């Protein structure tokens, strides 16, 4: 834990030392967010998760829409919002998770290896929202997205299960 605390301290110092307009700033915020999420995973401290979400938002805000790194930054924000939803049950977090994951998919080239994982994450979010609200449109979209995840996963990929797709055809 000592090394994680030090990594967070160094990440904060790097952000403070970097001019606001510097292109590396988004990556620094992303690194801080990842380390804070790691600490949250170990301690359960919501303050770490809140700060991780804030750092992820700043990373996205500092990244131009045409930057190829934007998709992963959006994905990281979506994962952190999903963590908060899992902890609090706040539907606004689930809705935002779904929204930013869609944005991440739109920002990801069709042949990118992360595309299937993003579709899978979106499908999981839509499935959870369906379970909470009973909205059939979410279930239908979750099924469509699972099909897209399957199409985007090469058959020799470890996530390709024997019964027809990524993670067992979720």
58 vs 53: CA distance, rounded Å: 9
Number of other CB atoms surrounding residue 70 within 10 Å: 20
Any bridge partners for residue 161, and if so which? 165
- The pLDDT assigned to 170 comes to 42
108 vs 101: CA distance, rounded Å: 11
Choosing from 92, 118, 144, the residue where a domain stops is 92
Judgement on whether residues 2 and 69 belong to the same structural domain of the protein: yes
Choosing from 63, 92, 121, the residue where a domain stops is 92
127 vs 98: CA distance, rounded Å: 10
Judgement on whether residues 40 and 124 belong to the same structural domain of the protein: no
Q: What is the pTM of this model?
A: 0.87
Mean pLDDT by runs of 10 across the 170 residues of the chain is: 95 96 96 98 97 98 94 96 97 98 95 91 97 97 94 74 45
Judgement on whether residues 31 and 88 belong to the same structural domain of the protein: yes
Please check whether residue 27 is in contact with residue 69, taking contact to mean a CB–CB distance below 8 angstroms. Answer: yes
By three-state DSSP, how is residue 94 classified? helix
- The pLDDT assigned to 168 comes to 41
- The pLDDT assigned to 37 comes to 98
Judgement on whether residues 116 and 74 belong to the same structural domain of the protein: no
Best CA proximity match to 45, nearest among 94, 98, 8, 74 = 8
Judgement on whether residues 69 and 124 belong to the same structural domain of the protein: no
Q: Hey, what are 32's tokens? A: 């801080």
């Amino acid at each position: 834990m000592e090394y994680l605390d030090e990594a967070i301290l160094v990440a904060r110092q790097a952000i403070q030392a970097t001019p606001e307009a510097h292109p590396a700033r988004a990556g620094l915020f992303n690194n801080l967010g990842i380390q804070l999420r790691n600490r949250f995973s170990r301690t359960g401290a919501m303050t770490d998760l809140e700060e991780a979400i804030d750092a992820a938002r700043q990373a996205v805000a500092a990244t131009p829409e045409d930057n190829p790194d934007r998709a992963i930054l959006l994905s990281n924000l979506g994962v952190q919002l999903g963590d908060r939803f899992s902890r609090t049950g706040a539907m606004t977090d689930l809705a935002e998770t779904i929204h930013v994951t869609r944005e991440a998919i739109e920002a990801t080239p069709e042949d990118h290896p992360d595309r299937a994982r993003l579709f899978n994450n979106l499908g999981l979010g839509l499935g959870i929202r369906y379970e909470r609200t009973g909205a059939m449109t979410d279930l239908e979209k979750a099924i469509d997205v699972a099909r897209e995840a399957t199409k985007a996963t090469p058959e020799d990929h470890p996530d390709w299960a024997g019964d027809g797709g990524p993670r067992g055809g979720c």
